Amino acid sequence: MYIIETKKLTKSYADFTAVSDINLHIPKGAVYGFLGPNGAGKSTTMKMFLGLTKPTGGSFTINGKKYPENRMDILKEVGSFIEAPAFYGNLSGEENLEIIRKILGLPKSSVSEALEIVGLTQFKRRLAKQYSLGMKQRLGLAGALIGTPPILILDEPTNGLDPVGIHEIRTLIRSLPEKYDCTVLVSSHLLSEIELMADRIGILNHGHLLYEGTLDQLKTDAASNGYPTDNLEDTFLALIDADNQERGVLK
């Protein structure tokens, strides 16, 4: 069963198409890695799922609910982390989450549960402006995880983190479906990072879906096309490069 499915989903601006006719199939309980260079259309797709920008063509369903008819019902089932999350610097981590809890109408215990999941319990009373970048990313994840929604949409959650922080967030994301019976859509422009946490991937370039499936299948497909397969990063770059050349785009 696909918990998120798109049919020819498109987002165009005046003279630019950010997302073009993409058909995504995200299985329930998966960590689905959404890959592509910066500007490929990953964030735009995620914003459409969250109702932050309207599609100009095609359709999508989330957990059987169709957009835009069921927009509010969809939002109740999705936790999100899009770009660098903004916090009130003069409030503590706990107080920032309390605001989200009240908006969502969740029980009081959900704040401490979210802090526990991301390992911020001991820093819950520290002001958000005194948090390190890694702690701010964790607080953003706690905001997405509050109330343990069945679907998580995470846009570049390891951006700007040091190797230890990347490892911790990656391990956390990998553990979520089993622990909380949820599905995770996580974007990155680094295949090496996605490789360690995703069950399936979708590769986007200039708004077009180049590949969807498992990493093993990607290797098989790459080999049959004569692309390098020793290193998945090289496979990914070769795929993007070939698509750029086909489209006559430099980057």
The pLDDT tens digits for 144-170 are 999 899 999 999 888 878 888 888 888
Among 141, 132, 185, smallest CA distance to 160 is for 132
E strands within the chain?
2-13, 16-22, 25-27, 31-35, 57-62, 65-66, 78-81, 151-155, 183-188, 200-205, 208-213
The per-residue pLDDT for 1 is 78
CA dist 212 and 181 (Å) reads 23
What pTM did the predictor assign? 0.91
Instruction: Compute the mean pLDDT over every residue in the chain, rounded to the nearest whole number.
Output: 90
Find where tokens 């990072």 sit: 193
The per-residue pLDDT for 39 is 86
**Backbone conformation region of residue 207, classed left if phi is above 0, alpha if psi is from -120 to 50, else beta:** left
The percentage of the chain sitting over the pLDDT mark of 90, rounded to a whole number, equals 57
196 to 169, 174, 182, 210: CA distances (angstroms)? 11, 8, 18, 21
The per-residue pLDDT for 249 is 66
The per-residue pLDDT for 251 is 52
**Within 10 Å of residue 105's Cβ, how many Cβ atoms?**
8
Strand-pairing partners, residue 4, are 26, 62
pLDDT band for position 43 (cuts 50, 70, 90) = very high
